[in-house]
Structure 1
Amino acid sequence: MNKVLFIFVFSSFTLTACSKPENNTAVQAPVQQTAQTASESTKIRSTPAAGEHAETSLYWAGEYKGVLPCADCEGIKMELELKSDKTYELKEEYLGKGSGKEFKSEGAFSFDASNSSIITLDKAAENRKFFISENFAEARDLQTGKAIDSQLNYKLMKDTH
């Protein structure tokens, strides 16, 4: 975000310093377009750029919701709330057979040292791993943290209220 702001300010300064047009609206139009483009690119970016860390570059706190695949039921309705103090609340409800039972886990999570886009929930949630993006959380392999090799959807979408 700081890089985008710096580029915007530097570009604005350069454009105004290079020429003195008689009509100020001609200079303002490109600047406004640049500002719009910068804010749009921030919304679209879902993973941190090279060298950035999800922990510090993304707004990861919030509620993530979705239905994950289940081997012996219609799906698992899941809500994962990540709090800014690095605690979580996980709610799961098995759909179809045995529905109506909700399981709840609470505890702390940590960002992976080797891949800062991966979090690991504590023992209360069976050390589950999730890839965290600005707009979604994706369940990952418990051992490796790698994406699950499947055509099924393991993403929880961020609730934007």
Structure 2
Amino acid sequence: MKNTLLLVTVTIVALGLTACSKTQQPSTVENPDQQTAMQNNAPSMPKNTTVGDTAETSLDWAGEYKGTFPCADCEGINIELELHPDKTYELKEEYISDTKNTEVKTKGSFSFDPNQPSIITLDEKGENRKFFVGENFVEVRDIQTGEKINSSLNYKLVKEMN
């Protein structure tokens, strides 16, 4: 009798410990309509959302960037690129020459590349140019790939701090 009582007690304690150590499994739903309703009510991320920090979400990218780019047939090109919070831009390019400086102004919109979240692409007005957005600078990138241009020349614009 004592052995039976001891066996029952050990069994109850073992079952209690086993129940406490199991993780709760999600319940299965027999009714497919109920399953769909549960999925529709569950919070979800939008399909095109990038998880984690990106240049768009973690950097103060709006502002005016300036620099001078090399030029094959002039002394250089003074560049001013202003990025606005509404994802529009103003691009001013001044071609420096001994005889006459030529200025070209372009306004349009840009977008962050969903596959390369640190890259912005200007619209057709801006000839679809790509820039890498870094901390207080933007740098010209290859138009087709968005990759860094393999050159020792300077293609970086520095953000003006007012």
TM over 0.5: yes
| SS, match of residue 125 in structure 2 | helix
Does residue 132 (structure 1) correspond to residue 139 (structure 2)? The answer is no
Paired amino acid for 1:160: M
Distance change in 2, residues 1:130/1:99 (3 Å): farther
Give the corresponding residue for 2:114. 113
Inter-partner Cα distance in structure 2 for 1:119 and 1:99: 32
Name the count of aligned residue pairs: 112
**Structure number with larger C-alpha Rg:** 2
Inter-partner Cα distance in structure 2 for 1:150 and 1:123: 25
Structure 2's unaligned 5+ residue stretches are 1-50
Give the corresponding residue for 2:45. none
Give the corresponding residue for 1:87. 88
Does residue 62 (structure 1) correspond to residue 63 (structure 2)? The answer is yes
Equivalent positions of 1:14-33 (< 5 A) are none
Following TM superposition, the consecutive aligned residue runs of length 4 or more in structure 1 with deviations greater than 3 angstroms are none
Structure 1's unaligned 5+ residue stretches are 1-49
Q: Which moved more, 1:86-95 or 1:70-79?
A: 70-79
CA contact (8 A) 1:93 1:99 kept: no
Instruction: Name the structure with the higher helix share.
Output: 1
Instruction: Give the share of equivalent positions with the same residue, in percent.
Output: 63
Root-mean-square deviation (Å)? 1.4
TM-score by length of 1: 0.67
Quote how far apart the aligned CAs of 1:100 are: 2.0
